[in-house]
Amino acid sequence: MKQHPEIDEKFLAKQKRKLLAEKARLEKDLAKVAVKKARGYQPKWTAVGDDEDENAQESDLFLGTAQLEGNFESLLQNTNSALKRIEEGTYGFDITDGSAISRERLDAFPAATMTKANEDKLEKSLKRFIKGRGFHL
């Protein structure tokens, strides 16, 4: 196993505490907008009423709730993944090329999976892909 040049056991313990606190917060937030199912979460439906305007409002609320649920669930998956990497001894290394993620970046975003340089490369590549398909950002 590779040793990260900037990470010691004290830092790992601090990151694990941060990630566990984030996991608890995300699960609490998810419980407000979604119901936990065997495979992930399902957005909650809020009934407002029976007339046409209220039905439209229900649809708008559901769309907003679904977006929140998706965001929270994605963040929770990233957090759980980071906790798993701590246990496996791979925390702090870029998932694309194995390079060390800076301690400063990990401290700011404990669930980081890539170096800033690799994340920027991925973002540029995705933008080129999207524009190449005729879409506009």
| Residue 1 resides in a domain | no
For residue 58, the enclosing domain spans 9-132
| Residue 117 resides in a domain | yes
Q: How many folded domains does the chain comprise?
A: 1
Name every residue whose Cβ is closer than 8 Å to that of residue 125 and which is 6 or more positions away in sequence. Answer: none
| Residue 111 resides in a domain | yes
In tens digits, the chain (137 residues) has pLDDT values of 688 999 999 999 999 999 999 999 999 999 988 888 888 887 776 666 667 666 667 777 767 777 888 899 999 999 999 999 999 999 999 999 999 999 999 999 999 999 999 999 999 999 998 888 888 76
| Residue 2 resides in a domain | no
CB 79 within 8 Å of CB 111: yes
Global pTM exceeds 0.75: yes
| Residue 137 resides in a domain | no
